[in-house]
Amino acid sequence: MTDYRIKEHPILPIPPGPSLSFTWKGERLTAREGETIASALFGNGVRTFGHHPKDGAPMGIFCANGQCAQCTVIADGLPVKSCMVPVKEGMAVQPLDGKPVLPDVAEADARFRDIETLQVECLILGGGPAGLSAAIELGRLGVGVILVDDKTDLGGKLVLQTHKFFGSIDACHAGTRGMDIGRKLEAEVRTFENVRVWTGSNALAVFSDRKVGILREGHYVLVQPQVLLVATGAREKSLVFKGNSLPGVYGAGAFQTLVNRDMVRPTDRLFVIGGGNVGLIAAYHALQAGIEVVGLCEALPECGGYKVHKDKLVRMGVPVHTSHTVVSANGKDEVESVTIAKLDAAWKVIPGTERTYKCDTVLVAVGLEPVNEFFVKAKEFGLPVFAAGDAEEIAEASAAMFTGRIRGLEIAKALGRDAGEVPQEWHRTAEVLKSRPGATITEEIPEEERGVYPVFHCSQEIPCNPCTSICPQGSIQIEGGDILGVPTFNEADCIACEQCVAVCPGLAITLVDFRKEDEAGALVTIPYEFPGTSIKAGDTVTVLDTLGRILGNVPVVKTRSPKFADHATLVKVRAPEEIARQIAGIRVQQPWVSDPMEETVQRIDDDEIVCRCERVTAGEIRARIRAGVRDLNELKAATRAGMGSCGGKTCPGLIKRIFREEGVRESEITEFTQRPVFMEVPLGAFAGLDTGEGPKQDVTPAHAVSAFQGGL
């Protein structure tokens, strides 16, 4: 089989090659040490993991985050989520086709242990930017903390973010790559002896006796906190369209996990649905991994993400189709193409505007919703609880870090610590960092054709100021002194240090140098975050303006990768004076990549799947709604929608959208009854089945109590 692992990346180090072997349907494949089954299968070119028992439909990865069960396989005889379980030497993996045959366990072989209950001042669910930041504040104040995260590495989505952060350098490490921010926060958390970190552990439920069930590396534990902090982040929303369950249709977070965490190239040609920051950034990450990005479509007239992210894509050669929607993902067993169409003012497809693009993957990036079920249950049962980050409100990770800090102080105060009041400046900073993109102004290009100075190609009000902090001359300011403004240069002498070019998270600053009057044209320094081997002095490159318009072909004079550029390359080109100031970027993808197919593909199958676990279609849901059903629990009983192994994490929002389309007000709808266990767990874990694996004892005798005193 072809090896689909990434061999070269401009930012990430390349891990050692495969050293393990396992079998897939009896065929021997290879895997890297620590690689999950899903990533190993993708690395060997396998994208279909099984077939649904209801209709035989092919199934592949969807969330890559343990939130669904689409990637379930049989590993050494047991059904497991392939995105969460690492490959072991000699492991035998089979697709989940039909009902699994489980191994027999003799009664004499079963050994049981007591279920421990641990008492702690604060339990934090989630080791992302919010949870880590809160733990740091609590650690400083001596509060006893247990921090739980289901991954082996802390950082949450920071682990997947290779781009530099927006915001403020002082407040949230702006100008630093997300993955490096995650490492800094984790390192600081681990300095506190009063903060215990449980990785590879899943929070299962909040019970009525105010205990929280945790599956800690396979062993079930009950934790009784005085205060609970829910920092569980967000899950991706989905869309209903024909072919939406084909292998190759999945979320942007899953894609970033495969590419940026596991260094797998899961696709050759990619199309992105959704123009928020998640979709725009995922498309950029794909380009960095050597993947062709055929295009991106957004239903709104303008992308909802930062304009600098959109501009970065278009000037690299990726078309962005606004006021467009996806019509269908096409293919028999896997994605082979995608069909999109233009929308009118009433959000209806305009007939005749359909276009089909050849691709093998469709990323769905249409927004996020809070993972807040633990918060809701804790409130219901009277357990003191706080929420931070996306679990409280969807915003950027920079805002999550700050809300985490605020919640840390608030929790310490609630526990009686002398924490003082939360500074008002913290609250103001948090609100600024949560700000949605503001007004877009006309890009101002300097008229001066002498000297040396930076040109700012950012023209939207967003919370960002690394360039003002990094300039050694203090020559860059934000208009009005507000972090939300647009930067300006105050005509002071520029020393051409190029640090502002390197630090800009949006790659939106170039440096123009007219000083060498004896040579034709001007020198322009452009940031470039692609493998250094792909560009060198003497090459000719195509340069574009902010809107992606081609300005011309110019020679590369010099390239360098100084330490302060943090893996980026600074490319110096010589350009005619009339275009030098307009240059915003270098094209990295050829135009023909994004050409539509000659014939538009119309998918015939009416297979718009709402509930992926139970294969319930939009047509089935609409029929029940038109028959008068208004209770989601009744709908579940009649169709099994929401009854699957994911616990109804994806389909409720899609079902409510169908209700709205059918003219039913949300006030008329009865919500699903939320059951206490929020993810699948082996029953043996609740009984204390001793598997011979798991964590070391992490309790003192004074904190341990006998089994089954939780809310089971």
Asked if residue 142 and residue 222 are part of one domain, the reply reads yes
Give CA–CA dist 95/72, Å, rounded.
8
Do residues 424 and 469 both lie within one domain? Answer: no
Report the distance separating Cα 117 and Cα 708, nearest Å: 9
CATH number of the domain that residue 403 is part of: 3.50.50.60
Does 484 fall in a domain? yes
What's the count of helices (H) and strands (E) in the chain, helices before strands?
17, 35
Asked if residue 663 and residue 540 are part of one domain, the reply reads no
CB within 8 A of 273, min separation 6: which ones? 239, 279, 296, 297, 326, 362, 363, 364, 365, 366
496 and 453 in contact (C-beta within 8 Å)?
A: no
Residue 606: pLDDT above 80? no
In the predicted model, is pLDDT for residue 691 greater than 90?
no
> What 3-state class would DSSP assign to 314?
helix
Mean pLDDT of 70-75: 91
pLDDT at residue number 705: 31
> 73: domain range?
1-100
| Residues 122 and 173 grouped into a single domain | yes
676 found inside a domain: no
Considering the domain architecture, whether residues 462 and 421 belong to the same structural domain is answered as no
User: Could you count the other beta carbons within 10 Å of the beta carbon of residue 666?
Assistant: 9
**Of 295, 387, 372, nearest in space to 340 by CA:** 295
Q: Is the pLDDT of residue 228 over 70?
A: yes
How far from the centroid of its chain's Cα atoms is residue 136's Cα?
A: 23
Nearest by Cα to 616 from 655, 576, 663: 655
φ, ψ dihedrals at 541, nearest 5°: -125, 155
In tens, the pLDDT along 405-432 reads 999 999 999 999 988 888 888 888 888 8
Residues 478/487, Cβ–Cβ less than 8 Å? yes
In a shared domain, residues 589 and 618 = no
Query: Which pLDDT value is given to residue 121?
Result: 97
| DSSP, residue by residue, 409-473 | HHHHHHTT----PPPHHHHHHHHHHTPPP--B---------SSEEEEE---B--SB-HHHHH-TT
**Cβ contacts of 655 within 8 Å, gap of 6 or more:** 610, 621, 632, 635, 641, 642
CA-to-CA distance for 378 and 93, rounded, in angstroms?
A: 39
Residue 527's Cβ-count burial label (10 Å; 0-12, 13-18, 19+) is buried
Whether 263 maps to a domain, the answer reads no
Query: How many structural domains does the chain have?
Result: 4
Nearest residue to 501 (alpha-carbon basis) of 452, 455, 537: 455
| Burial zone of 163 (CB within 10 Å; 0-12 exposed, 13-18 middle, 19+ buried) | buried
Q: How far is CA 125 from the centre of its chain?
A: 18
In a domain, 136, yes or no: yes
- Residues 240, 609 contacting (CB under 8 angstroms): yes
pLDDT for 382: 96
Asked whether residue 282 is domain-assigned, the answer is no
Are 148 and 65 members of one domain?
no
Q: Are strands 509-513 and 337-342 parallel, antiparallel or unpaired?
A: unpaired
The answer to whether residue 474 is domain-embedded is yes
Please give the helix or strand (H or E) that residue 621 lies within, else none.
helix 618-626
Q: If phi over 0 gives left and psi between -120 and 50 gives alpha, with beta otherwise, what is residue 317?
A: left
- Regarding whether 582 and 527 lie in a shared domain, the answer is yes
- Judge whether 706 lies within some domain: no
Are 378 and 230 in contact by the 8 Å Cβ rule? The answer is: yes
CA-based angle 466:582:435, to the nearest 5? 35
The answer, yes or no, to whether residue 488 has pLDDT greater than 90, is no
Q: What is the pLDDT of residues 369-400, one digit of tens each?
A: 999 999 999 999 999 999 999 999 988 888 99
Same domain (yes/no): 67, 126: no
Give the end of a domain, one of 51, 71, 100. 100
For residue 598, what is the DSSP state?
S
Which pLDDT belongs to residue 708?
27
Q: Is the sign of the CA dihedral 653, 654, 660, 663 positive or negative?
A: negative
**In the predicted structure, residue 503 carries a pLDDT above the cut 80:** yes
Residues 163/505, Cβ–Cβ less than 8 Å:
yes
Average pLDDT for 226-232: 97
Average pLDDT of 551-571?
Answer: 94
Cα separation, 437 vs 435, in Å, equals 6
Longest pairwise C-alpha distance within the chain = 90
Res. 697: pLDDT tops 80 = no
Same-domain pairing of 147 and 33: no
Percent over 90 (pLDDT), the chain: 67
Q: Are residues 425 and 571 both part of a single domain?
A: no
68 in a domain, yes or no?
yes
The answer to whether residues 603 and 340 touch, using CB atoms and an 8 Å cutoff, is no
DSSP bridge pairs for 528: 569
Do 655 and 588 fall within a single domain? no
CA distances from 591 to 50, 78, 157 (A): 36, 47, 32
* Per-residue confidence band for 569, with pLDDT thresholds at 50, 70 and 90: very high
The one-letter code for the residue type at 602 is: Q
Domain end among 562, 593, 624: 593
Spatial CB neighbours of 433, under 8 Å, sequence gap ≥ 6: 167, 168, 171, 172, 395, 396, 398, 399, 402, 463
- Phi and psi torsions of 268, nearest 5°: -100, -40
Could you give the C-alpha distances from 308 to 284, 305, 505, 548, 653, in angstroms and in order? 12, 9, 9, 12, 30
Give the pTM. 0.91
Q: Which distant-in-sequence residues (6+ apart) come within 8 Å of 352 by Cβ? A: none
If pLDDT is split at 50, 70 and 90, which confidence band does 704 have? very low
Q: Quick check: 354 and 342 in contact, CB under 8 A?
A: no
**Using CA atoms, how far apart are residues 179 and 669, in angstroms rounded to an integer?**
41
**pLDDT at position 169, please?**
83
Phi, psi dihedral angles at 648 (to 5 degrees): 70, 45
Residue ending a domain, choose from 566, 593, 620: 593
CATH of residue 35: 3.10.20.440
The pLDDT assigned to 445 comes to 80
